[in-house]
Chain A
Amino acid sequence: MHEWALAEAVITAASQIAEKEGLKEVTELNIKVGELQQIELDILNFALSQQKQNKFKNAKISIKIEKAKLKCRVCGNQWIFSREKLDKDSVEAIHFVPEIAHTFIKCPKCGSPDFDVLQGRGVWLESIRGVK
Protein backbone atom coordinates (compact mmCIF):
# COMPACT_ATOMS: atom_id res chain seq x y z
CA MET A 1 0.00 0.00 0.00
CA HIS A 2 2.96 2.28 -0.57
CA GLU A 3 0.97 3.37 -3.64
CA TRP A 4 -1.52 4.97 -1.25
CA ALA A 5 1.18 7.37 0.01
CA LEU A 6 2.10 8.27 -3.57
CA ALA A 7 -1.56 8.84 -4.47
CA GLU A 8 -1.89 11.06 -1.41
CA ALA A 9 1.14 13.07 -2.60
CA VAL A 10 -0.36 13.44 -6.10
CA ILE A 11 -3.72 14.67 -4.78
CA THR A 12 -2.07 17.04 -2.26
CA ALA A 13 0.22 18.52 -4.92
CA ALA A 14 -2.65 18.83 -7.42
CA SER A 15 -4.84 20.53 -4.77
CA GLN A 16 -2.11 23.09 -4.15
CA ILE A 17 -1.78 23.81 -7.88
CA ALA A 18 -5.58 24.03 -8.31
CA GLU A 19 -5.72 26.48 -5.41
CA LYS A 20 -2.90 28.57 -6.84
CA GLU A 21 -4.49 28.68 -10.28
CA GLY A 22 -7.96 29.44 -8.91
CA LEU A 23 -9.59 26.25 -10.27
CA LYS A 24 -13.07 25.64 -8.88
CA GLU A 25 -13.16 22.16 -10.32
CA VAL A 26 -10.45 19.87 -11.64
CA THR A 27 -11.52 18.01 -14.78
CA GLU A 28 -8.34 16.26 -15.82
CA LEU A 29 -5.23 15.03 -14.06
CA ASN A 30 -2.35 13.49 -16.01
CA ILE A 31 0.20 11.44 -14.11
CA LYS A 32 3.40 9.81 -15.31
CA VAL A 33 4.67 6.68 -13.58
CA GLY A 34 8.19 5.42 -14.17
CA GLU A 35 8.72 1.67 -14.49
CA LEU A 36 11.73 1.65 -12.18
CA GLN A 37 9.51 2.02 -9.12
CA GLN A 38 7.29 -0.94 -10.12
CA ILE A 39 4.08 0.75 -9.04
CA GLU A 40 1.02 -1.53 -8.95
CA LEU A 41 -1.29 0.43 -11.24
CA ASP A 42 -4.48 -1.16 -9.94
CA ILE A 43 -3.62 -0.13 -6.39
CA LEU A 44 -2.55 3.37 -7.45
CA ASN A 45 -5.79 3.82 -9.43
CA PHE A 46 -7.84 2.57 -6.50
CA ALA A 47 -6.00 4.84 -4.04
CA LEU A 48 -6.51 7.83 -6.35
CA SER A 49 -10.20 7.07 -6.80
CA GLN A 50 -10.66 6.83 -3.01
CA GLN A 51 -8.87 10.10 -2.37
CA LYS A 52 -10.32 12.30 -5.10
CA GLN A 53 -12.93 14.35 -3.37
CA ASN A 54 -14.39 17.86 -3.59
CA LYS A 55 -12.71 19.64 -6.51
CA PHE A 56 -11.49 16.32 -7.89
CA LYS A 57 -14.79 14.43 -7.68
CA ASN A 58 -15.33 14.39 -11.45
CA ALA A 59 -11.70 14.54 -12.54
CA LYS A 60 -10.56 12.12 -15.21
CA ILE A 61 -7.25 10.67 -14.13
CA SER A 62 -4.87 9.35 -16.77
CA ILE A 63 -1.72 7.46 -15.93
CA LYS A 64 1.08 7.14 -18.47
CA ILE A 65 3.78 4.52 -17.97
CA GLU A 66 7.31 5.51 -18.83
CA LYS A 67 10.04 2.96 -19.52
CA ALA A 68 13.03 3.34 -17.20
CA LYS A 69 16.07 4.25 -19.29
CA LEU A 70 19.47 4.03 -17.59
CA LYS A 71 22.85 5.34 -18.76
CA CYS A 72 26.20 4.19 -17.41
CA ARG A 73 28.45 7.06 -16.36
CA VAL A 74 31.56 4.95 -16.85
CA CYS A 75 31.14 3.43 -20.33
CA GLY A 76 28.17 5.42 -21.67
CA ASN A 77 26.04 2.31 -22.29
CA GLN A 78 22.29 2.92 -22.29
CA TRP A 79 19.75 0.24 -21.42
CA ILE A 80 16.14 -0.27 -20.43
CA PHE A 81 15.41 -1.49 -16.90
CA SER A 82 13.98 -4.96 -16.66
CA ARG A 83 12.84 -6.52 -13.40
CA GLU A 84 13.29 -10.08 -14.68
CA LYS A 85 16.96 -10.22 -13.68
CA LEU A 86 16.28 -9.14 -10.11
CA ASP A 87 15.12 -11.23 -7.18
CA LYS A 88 11.90 -10.45 -5.32
CA ASP A 89 13.57 -8.66 -2.39
CA SER A 90 15.60 -6.34 -4.67
CA VAL A 91 12.50 -5.44 -6.70
CA GLU A 92 10.64 -4.66 -3.50
CA ALA A 93 13.48 -2.49 -2.14
CA ILE A 94 13.59 -0.51 -5.43
CA HIS A 95 9.81 -0.18 -5.27
CA PHE A 96 10.08 1.69 -1.96
CA VAL A 97 13.15 3.78 -2.76
CA PRO A 98 14.09 3.69 -6.48
CA GLU A 99 17.67 4.86 -5.71
CA ILE A 100 18.26 1.42 -4.16
CA ALA A 101 18.68 0.43 -7.84
CA HIS A 102 22.31 1.50 -7.38
CA THR A 103 22.73 -1.36 -4.94
CA PHE A 104 21.17 -4.11 -7.04
CA ILE A 105 21.55 -3.03 -10.69
CA LYS A 106 24.87 -2.85 -12.57
CA CYS A 107 25.64 -1.72 -16.08
CA PRO A 108 25.18 -4.84 -18.27
CA LYS A 109 28.24 -3.86 -20.30
CA CYS A 110 30.89 -2.86 -17.73
CA GLY A 111 29.35 -3.84 -14.37
CA SER A 112 29.40 -0.35 -12.82
CA PRO A 113 26.70 0.77 -10.36
CA ASP A 114 27.44 4.38 -11.37
CA PHE A 115 24.58 5.16 -13.74
CA ASP A 116 22.00 7.86 -14.30
CA VAL A 117 18.28 7.24 -14.50
CA LEU A 118 17.51 9.20 -17.67
CA GLN A 119 13.78 8.61 -17.40
CA GLY A 120 11.20 6.44 -15.67
CA ARG A 121 12.11 6.94 -12.02
CA GLY A 122 8.96 7.64 -9.99
CA VAL A 123 5.57 9.35 -9.97
CA TRP A 124 5.24 12.69 -11.69
CA LEU A 125 2.37 15.13 -12.03
CA GLU A 126 2.35 16.06 -15.73
CA SER A 127 -0.62 18.36 -16.12
CA ILE A 128 -3.84 19.47 -14.54
CA ARG A 129 -6.90 20.99 -16.21
CA GLY A 130 -10.00 22.48 -14.69
CA VAL A 131 -12.69 25.12 -14.59
CA LYS A 132 -12.07 28.58 -13.10
Chain B
Amino acid sequence: MGDPRISMINERLRRIRHIIAVSGGKGGVGKSLTASILALTLVRKGCKVGLFDLDFTSPSTHIILGIRGVQPKEEKGIIPPKVHSLEYMSIIYYTGDHALPLRGTDVSNALIELLSITKWGKLDFLVIDMPPGIGDATLDIIRLIKNIGFLVVTTQSQLAFETVRKLITLLKELNVPVMGVVENMKVSKSSISKRQVQKLGITFLGEIPFDKKIEKSMGRMDRLPRTVFMKKVEEIVSNLDFRC
Protein backbone atom coordinates (compact mmCIF):
# COMPACT_ATOMS: atom_id res chain seq x y z
CA MET B 1 0.00 0.00 0.00
CA GLY B 2 2.81 2.36 0.66
CA ASP B 3 5.75 3.74 2.52
CA PRO B 4 4.36 5.49 5.62
CA ARG B 5 7.55 7.50 6.24
CA ILE B 6 6.87 9.94 3.40
CA SER B 7 3.70 11.21 5.11
CA MET B 8 5.79 12.45 8.05
CA ILE B 9 8.46 14.44 6.25
CA ASN B 10 6.77 17.80 5.93
CA GLU B 11 5.39 17.45 9.46
CA ARG B 12 8.98 17.01 10.71
CA LEU B 13 10.06 20.15 8.82
CA ARG B 14 7.01 22.17 9.82
CA ARG B 15 8.79 24.37 12.36
CA ILE B 16 11.52 25.46 9.94
CA ARG B 17 11.02 28.83 8.19
CA HIS B 18 13.54 28.49 5.37
CA ILE B 19 15.23 25.44 3.89
CA ILE B 20 18.31 26.08 1.75
CA ALA B 21 19.88 23.29 -0.32
CA VAL B 22 23.50 24.13 -1.11
CA SER B 23 24.10 22.36 -4.38
CA GLY B 24 26.31 22.26 -7.45
CA GLY B 25 26.89 20.22 -10.55
CA LYS B 26 30.35 18.88 -9.74
CA GLY B 27 32.22 17.66 -6.70
CA GLY B 28 35.10 19.70 -5.31
CA VAL B 29 33.66 23.16 -5.93
CA GLY B 30 33.19 23.92 -2.22
CA LYS B 31 29.55 23.03 -1.55
CA SER B 32 30.20 21.55 1.88
CA LEU B 33 32.42 24.43 2.91
CA THR B 34 29.83 26.94 1.67
CA ALA B 35 27.01 25.10 3.47
CA SER B 36 28.99 24.90 6.72
CA ILE B 37 30.12 28.52 6.66
CA LEU B 38 26.67 29.73 5.60
CA ALA B 39 25.19 27.91 8.61
CA LEU B 40 27.80 29.42 10.95
CA THR B 41 27.25 32.90 9.49
CA LEU B 42 23.51 32.65 10.07
CA VAL B 43 24.11 31.51 13.67
CA ARG B 44 26.37 34.53 14.21
CA LYS B 45 23.56 36.75 12.94
CA GLY B 46 21.47 35.41 15.80
CA CYS B 47 19.37 32.96 13.78
CA LYS B 48 18.33 29.48 14.86
CA VAL B 49 20.00 27.18 12.37
CA GLY B 50 20.24 23.50 11.50
CA LEU B 51 22.81 21.87 9.23
CA PHE B 52 21.99 18.56 7.55
CA ASP B 53 24.75 16.75 5.66
CA LEU B 54 22.98 14.83 2.92
CA ASP B 55 26.14 13.73 1.15
CA PHE B 56 25.85 10.20 2.53
CA THR B 57 28.71 8.60 0.62
CA SER B 58 31.18 11.47 1.17
CA PRO B 59 30.09 13.43 4.25
CA SER B 60 32.53 16.19 5.19
CA THR B 61 30.80 19.01 7.08
CA HIS B 62 31.75 17.34 10.39
CA ILE B 63 35.43 17.63 9.39
CA ILE B 64 35.07 21.27 8.33
CA LEU B 65 33.38 22.18 11.61
CA GLY B 66 35.49 19.87 13.79
CA ILE B 67 32.47 17.95 15.04
CA ARG B 68 33.20 14.76 16.97
CA GLY B 69 32.13 12.94 20.10
CA VAL B 70 28.45 13.84 19.78
CA GLN B 71 25.42 11.67 19.07
CA PRO B 72 21.75 12.43 18.49
CA LYS B 73 19.32 11.87 21.34
CA GLU B 74 16.59 9.29 20.89
CA GLU B 75 13.24 10.63 22.05
CA LYS B 76 10.22 9.48 20.03
CA GLY B 77 12.49 10.05 17.03
CA ILE B 78 15.98 11.45 16.64
CA ILE B 79 16.92 14.83 18.08
CA PRO B 80 20.05 16.31 16.45
CA PRO B 81 22.70 17.48 18.92
CA LYS B 82 23.55 21.16 19.12
CA VAL B 83 27.14 21.85 18.09
CA HIS B 84 28.58 25.39 17.73
CA SER B 85 24.95 26.53 18.35
CA LEU B 86 23.82 24.56 15.26
CA GLU B 87 21.43 21.61 15.24
CA TYR B 88 23.65 19.20 13.36
CA MET B 89 22.65 15.98 11.58
CA SER B 90 24.84 13.65 9.55
CA ILE B 91 25.05 9.99 8.59
CA ILE B 92 28.44 9.86 10.32
CA TYR B 93 26.65 9.35 13.64
CA TYR B 94 25.88 5.86 12.37
CA THR B 95 28.78 5.02 10.04
CA GLY B 96 31.62 6.57 12.02
CA ASP B 97 34.75 6.56 9.87
CA HIS B 98 33.58 3.56 7.81
CA ALA B 99 32.71 3.76 4.10
CA LEU B 100 29.04 3.69 3.11
CA PRO B 101 28.74 2.43 -0.48
CA LEU B 102 25.19 3.18 -1.63
CA ARG B 103 23.32 2.81 -4.88
CA GLY B 104 20.53 5.21 -5.90
CA THR B 105 17.60 3.42 -4.27
CA ASP B 106 19.55 3.11 -1.04
CA VAL B 107 20.38 6.83 -1.10
CA SER B 108 16.64 7.57 -1.45
CA ASN B 109 15.73 5.20 1.35
CA ALA B 110 18.34 6.57 3.75
CA LEU B 111 17.27 10.12 2.93
CA ILE B 112 13.58 9.35 3.51
CA GLU B 113 14.41 7.53 6.76
CA LEU B 114 16.42 10.44 8.18
CA LEU B 115 13.93 13.08 7.04
CA SER B 116 11.05 11.16 8.62
CA ILE B 117 12.65 10.43 12.00
CA THR B 118 14.73 13.57 12.63
CA LYS B 119 12.97 15.99 14.94
CA TRP B 120 14.32 19.47 14.24
CA GLY B 121 13.59 22.29 16.65
CA LYS B 122 12.05 25.61 15.73
CA LEU B 123 14.54 26.93 13.19
CA ASP B 124 14.91 30.04 11.07
CA PHE B 125 17.08 28.16 8.58
CA LEU B 126 17.93 24.58 7.75
CA VAL B 127 20.98 24.41 5.51
CA ILE B 128 21.33 21.17 3.56
CA ASP B 129 24.69 20.12 2.16
CA MET B 130 23.77 18.27 -1.03
CA PRO B 131 25.80 15.67 -2.91
CA PRO B 132 26.91 16.87 -6.36
CA GLY B 133 24.76 16.67 -9.45
CA ILE B 134 21.16 15.96 -10.30
CA GLY B 135 20.93 12.39 -9.05
CA ASP B 136 18.67 10.68 -6.55
CA ALA B 137 19.25 12.96 -3.56
CA THR B 138 18.49 16.12 -5.54
CA LEU B 139 15.39 14.63 -7.14
CA ASP B 140 14.16 13.35 -3.77
CA ILE B 141 14.70 16.66 -2.02
CA ILE B 142 12.72 18.42 -4.75
CA ARG B 143 9.98 15.77 -4.58
CA LEU B 144 9.70 15.56 -0.81
CA ILE B 145 10.39 19.00 0.64
CA LYS B 146 8.00 21.85 0.02
CA ASN B 147 9.35 25.40 0.06
CA ILE B 148 12.97 24.55 -0.55
CA GLY B 149 15.33 27.00 -2.23
CA PHE B 150 18.63 26.16 -3.92
CA LEU B 151 21.87 28.04 -3.49
CA VAL B 152 24.22 26.89 -6.22
CA VAL B 153 28.02 26.84 -6.00
CA THR B 154 30.31 26.91 -9.03
CA THR B 155 33.92 27.76 -9.83
CA GLN B 156 35.56 29.64 -12.68
CA SER B 157 36.01 26.34 -14.48
CA GLN B 158 33.87 25.96 -17.59
CA LEU B 159 33.47 22.28 -16.62
CA ALA B 160 31.87 23.23 -13.32
CA PHE B 161 29.65 25.83 -14.92
CA GLU B 162 28.32 23.52 -17.63
CA THR B 163 27.01 21.14 -14.94
CA VAL B 164 25.59 24.10 -13.00
CA ARG B 165 23.77 25.20 -16.14
CA LYS B 166 22.08 21.78 -16.31
CA LEU B 167 21.18 21.89 -12.61
CA ILE B 168 19.67 25.38 -12.93
CA THR B 169 17.76 24.45 -16.08
CA LEU B 170 16.26 21.46 -14.26
CA LEU B 171 15.33 23.53 -11.20
CA LYS B 172 13.70 26.17 -13.39
CA GLU B 173 11.73 23.54 -15.31
CA LEU B 174 10.47 22.12 -12.02
CA ASN B 175 9.65 25.58 -10.66
CA VAL B 176 12.05 25.18 -7.76
CA PRO B 177 13.34 28.55 -6.48
CA VAL B 178 17.03 29.25 -7.09
CA MET B 179 18.30 31.86 -4.64
CA GLY B 180 21.40 32.47 -6.70
CA VAL B 181 24.87 31.31 -7.63
CA VAL B 182 28.12 31.74 -5.71
CA GLU B 183 31.40 31.56 -7.60
CA ASN B 184 34.04 29.94 -5.41
CA MET B 185 37.84 29.57 -5.71
CA LYS B 186 38.15 32.56 -8.00
CA VAL B 187 41.70 33.01 -9.26
CA SER B 188 41.34 35.63 -12.01
CA LYS B 189 39.29 38.74 -12.61
CA SER B 190 37.21 37.18 -15.40
CA SER B 191 33.49 37.87 -15.09
CA ILE B 192 32.37 35.10 -17.47
CA SER B 193 30.59 33.13 -14.71
CA LYS B 194 28.70 36.21 -13.58
CA ARG B 195 27.55 36.97 -17.12
CA GLN B 196 26.55 33.35 -17.76
CA VAL B 197 24.57 33.21 -14.52
CA GLN B 198 22.76 36.45 -15.32
CA LYS B 199 22.05 35.17 -18.84
CA LEU B 200 20.17 32.28 -17.21
CA GLY B 201 18.02 34.83 -15.37
CA ILE B 202 19.53 33.88 -12.01
CA THR B 203 21.01 36.16 -9.32
CA PHE B 204 24.79 36.16 -9.11
CA LEU B 205 25.32 36.27 -5.35
CA GLY B 206 29.03 36.96 -5.27
CA GLU B 207 32.50 35.58 -5.62
CA ILE B 208 34.88 34.02 -3.13
CA PRO B 209 38.58 34.15 -3.97
CA PHE B 210 40.74 31.05 -3.70
CA ASP B 211 41.59 31.03 0.00
CA LYS B 212 45.04 29.52 0.55
CA LYS B 213 44.60 29.53 4.31
CA ILE B 214 41.30 27.65 4.36
CA GLU B 215 42.89 24.17 4.51
CA LYS B 216 44.69 25.01 7.75
CA SER B 217 41.38 26.19 9.21
CA MET B 218 39.52 22.90 8.69
CA GLY B 219 37.97 21.77 11.95
CA ARG B 220 39.33 24.86 13.72
CA MET B 221 36.55 26.98 15.12
CA ASP B 222 39.15 29.49 16.32
CA ARG B 223 40.39 30.01 12.73
CA LEU B 224 37.34 29.56 10.47
CA PRO B 225 35.65 32.85 11.45
CA ARG B 226 38.84 34.74 10.51
CA THR B 227 39.10 33.30 6.99
CA VAL B 228 38.55 35.29 3.81
CA PHE B 229 36.00 32.60 2.90
CA MET B 230 33.84 33.37 5.92
CA LYS B 231 34.13 37.12 5.40
CA LYS B 232 32.94 36.73 1.80
CA VAL B 233 30.02 34.48 2.84
CA GLU B 234 29.07 37.10 5.44
CA GLU B 235 29.02 39.73 2.68
CA ILE B 236 26.83 37.50 0.50
CA VAL B 237 24.43 36.85 3.39
CA SER B 238 24.20 40.56 4.21
CA ASN B 239 23.06 41.20 0.62
CA LEU B 240 20.33 38.57 0.88
CA ASP B 241 17.01 39.21 2.54
CA PHE B 242 17.67 36.72 5.35
CA ARG B 243 15.77 37.61 8.47
CA CYS B 244 15.73 35.68 11.72
- A interface residues, Cβ below 8 angstroms from B: 1-2, 4-6, 8-10, 12-14, 16-17, 93, 96-100, 102-104, 113-114, 121-128
For B7, B74, B77, B116, the residue with the greatest tally of chain A CB atoms inside 10 Å of its CB is: B7
A1→B75 contact, CB < 8 A: yes
Categorize the interface residue count of chain B.
20 to 34
Seed contacts A103-B98, A122-B3; 10 additional CB < 8 Å A-B pairs = A5-B119, A9-B7, A13-B2, A13-B3, A96-B78, A99-B100, A99-B107, A113-B101, A123-B5, A124-B1
A96→B4 contact, CB < 8 A: no
B127 to chain A, nearest CB (A): 21
B4→A114 contact, CB < 8 A: no
Partner of A13, one of B7, B98, B110, B117: B7
Tell yes or no: B11 within 8 A of A by CB. Answer: yes
Partner of B99, one of A1, A2, A13, A103: A103
A2→B77 contact, CB < 8 A: yes
A-B contact count, CB below 8 Å? 102
B109 to chain A, nearest CB (A): 6
A21 to chain B, nearest CB (A): 11
- Interface pairs A-B: 9 shortest CB-CB: A13-B4, A5-B77, A4-B76, A93-B94, A13-B7, A99-B110, A9-B4, A9-B8, A12-B7
B61 to chain A, nearest CB (A): 17
B98→A16 contact, CB < 8 A: no
B109→A99 contact, CB < 8 A: yes
Tell yes or no: B114 within 8 A of A by CB. Answer: yes
A102→B106 contact, CB < 8 A: yes
Q: Could you name 16 residue pairs across A and B whose Cβ atoms are closer than 8 Å? A: A4-B76, A13-B8, A17-B2, A96-B113, A97-B94, A97-B113, A99-B100, A99-B109, A99-B113, A100-B94, A100-B110, A103-B94, A103-B100, A113-B101, A114-B101, A114-B103
* A100-B100, A102-B106, A103-B98 given; A9·B5 CB < 8 A: yes
A113 to B99, CA, bound (A): 10
Tell yes or no: B102 within 8 A of A by CB. Answer: yes
A5→B117 contact, CB < 8 A: yes
A93 to B11, CA, bound (A): 24
A112's nearest neighbour on chain B, judged by CB, is B101
A100→B8 contact, CB < 8 A: no
Tell yes or no: B144 within 8 A of A by CB. Answer: no
A8→B1 contact, CB < 8 A: no
A121→B1 contact, CB < 8 A: no
A4→B77 contact, CB < 8 A: yes
A102→B117 contact, CB < 8 A: no
A14→B100 contact, CB < 8 A: no
Contacts of A14 in B (CB 8 A): 4
Partner of A97, one of B6, B7, B91, B98: B91
A55 to chain B, nearest CB (A): 15
Contacts of A13 in B (CB 8 A): 2-8
A104 to B95, CA, bound (A): 9
Contacts of A96 in B (CB 8 A): 78, 94, 113, 117
A61 to chain B, nearest CB (A): 13
B9 to chain A, nearest CB (A): 9
A125→B102 contact, CB < 8 A: no
B100 to chain A, nearest CB (A): 5
